Amino acid sequence: MQLTQRAKQVDRRPMTFVESLYLWNIAKGMWITFTHLFKKRPTINYPEQTRSFSKVFRGLHVLNRDAEGRENCTACGLCAVACPAEAITMEAAERLPGEENLYREEKYAAKYEINMLRCIFCGLCEEACPKDAIYLSQTFAPANYGRKGFIYKKDELLIPHPVNDPQGYQKAREEKSGKVK
């Protein structure tokens, strides 16, 4: 039974003396190796060059602010419930009078920690968030020498302030807008 049209019968005749010297076959193999010298190198020299990630790549988390620099997060806990790896911990606090320029709503996350050791970067927190307060950026989590450095606190997660650091904010926003929703 022939499964494909390309099937070729194997030649099982004994080799002649000239064939058994393998000279022609060695030359053929060497020629293939030689032609690879002139082919394009597939290697990316990683630390100097980087590959662009996919639009849907999910990297480190970012806590979002609105255009005036107020934090979006209201500590509702939906991200923590949605998280399959239970990596998110938060503590809620109530906004005091005079803090309206810091937090957008009456409740905010006083403590917000993501344990990158456990996080599997699935993006369910981003999908669960009703306030557009957390999203996953285009940078991967860097390596570290100890476990301690992987507990990301709120100050590491927050997006740069749009008024105090407009360039950093713009850069982070561009990364986000490149994503396909």
Out of 84, 166, 168, 178, the residue judged to bind another protein by CB under 8 A? 84
Tell me how far, at minimum, the Cβ of 88 lies from another protein, in Å: 9
For residues 53 and 57, give the distance between their C-alpha atoms in angstroms, rounded to a whole number. Answer: 6
Distance CA 160, CA 17 (A): 75
If binding is defined by CB under 8 A, does position 101 make contact with another protein? Answer: no
For 80, phi then psi, to 5°, come to -65, -35
Residues constituting the chain: 181
CA distance 181 to 1: 49
Is 90 an interacting residue with respect to another protein (CB under 8 A)? yes
Count of CB atoms situated within 10 Å of the CB of 109: 22
Instruction: Report the nearest approach of another protein to the CB of residue 84 (Å).
Output: 6
Rank residues 101 and 144 by Cβ distance to another protein and give the closer one: 144
151 sits near another protein (criterion: CB under 8 A): no
For another protein, the closer CB: 69 or 149: 149
Our CB check for another protein shows the closer of 4 and 49 to be: 49
Q: Is 53 in the site for another protein (CB under 8 A)?
A: yes
Q: What angle do CA 125, 154, 124 make, to 5 degrees?
A: 5
Q: Is 141 in the site for another protein (CB under 8 A)?
A: yes
